[in-house]
Amino acid sequence: MRPKVGHIQFLNCLPLYYGLVKSYALLDIELIKGTPTELNNLLISGGLDISPISSIEYARHHESLVLFPDFTVSSDGEVKSILMLSRFPIEELSGKKVALTSTSATSHVLLKLILSRGYGVEPEYFICLPDLNRLFENADAALLIGDMALKYSVDAKDFYLYDLGMEWKKLTGKKMVYAVWAVNRRFAETRSELSEYVFDILKKSMVYSMEHLSEIAEYAAKWEPFSFFFLKEYFKSLRFDFGKDYQDGLLYFYRLATEIGELKTVPEPEFINFHSGVKT
């Protein structure tokens, strides 16, 4: 059976998808597309062998997962596609209703951290579907992610707009890791070679896509409601690194998450070892 690999169906992962198509990788992996929440659930339940997973969900389920080195979905400051839209200035949100969209996980915790630690604000949170027409029926502010957020980053009339990557940088001075790539631990142990094979496929696709961002922006502009110029700038601003700075930002995020009760303990990131399957 081909390995079952998750793929975030947002524009931020389109460059990676482009690389996968151009390398014919889709012949050798079963790519399953979804929102971050869908992929989180599939990876944790064993419906996927390998997938991007929300950083906070990796921490909550790290016993059954090991990490791929090198890849994350991250930002160093502005992220553009994780936003809070608000009818009120952020400082005035205490006691107000804030909607968290059901498609994301890390950004729920991130928003809570920013509001409580950055602004001393404690609103009332509730989770709902990412349907913009209904979102503000019952909410004073709403967390938006993905392509829907991206649209608002260009054109957010009637709302105060806060970029959560930028707010995190302001609060901590650190980089922010929204998602990591993880392997089901049993798959990593029993199918070590296949795990490495998928890693190589992803690595090659990532390198290819970084070298062809203009071409990808041109292609994407054919289908997406954004201009070539906007897409090119957006793709260039994305970060997929997992270097020391990013690991540092991730652990700091985990530490703060434990302090507000969103995480029990800070896990030690555990990377796959392609010879034995697991490396600590």
Binding site for its own copies (CB under 8 A): 1-2, 18, 21-22, 24, 26-28, 219, 222-223
* Shortest CB 80 distance to its own copies, Å: 21
* Shortest CB 26 distance to its own copies, Å: 5
Residue with smaller CB distance to its own copies, 28 or 233? 28
Residue with smaller CB distance to its own copies, 66 or 217? 217
* Shortest CB 33 distance to its own copies, Å: 9
Residue with smaller CB distance to its own copies, 24 or 280? 24
Contact status, residue 41 vs residue 13, Cβ threshold 8 Å: no
Report the DSSP pairing between strands 4-8 and 141-145: unpaired
* Shortest CB 20 distance to its own copies, Å: 9
* Shortest CB 133 distance to its own copies, Å: 18
Write the CB contacts of 17 (distance below 8 Å, at least 6 apart in sequence). 7
The end-to-end CA distance of the chain, in Å, is: 28
Q: What kind and span of H or E run contains 70?
A: strand 65-75
Place of tokens 């599939």: 42
Among 102, 83, 84, smallest CA distance to 40 is for 102
What CA–CA distance (Å, rounded) separates 231 from 260?
36
3-state secondary structure of 62: helix
Write the CB contacts of 27 (distance below 8 Å, at least 6 apart in sequence). none
Query: What's the maximum distance between 2 C-alpha atoms anywhere in the chain?
Result: 55
Residue with smaller CB distance to its own copies, 14 or 99? 14
* Shortest CB 90 distance to its own copies, Å: 34
What CA–CA distance (Å, rounded) separates 152 from 190?
44
Residue with smaller CB distance to its own copies, 51 or 72? 51
Residue with smaller CB distance to its own copies, 25 or 53? 25
- Cβ burial 78-101 (10 Å sphere, 16+ → b, else e): ebbbbbbbbeeebebbeebebbbb
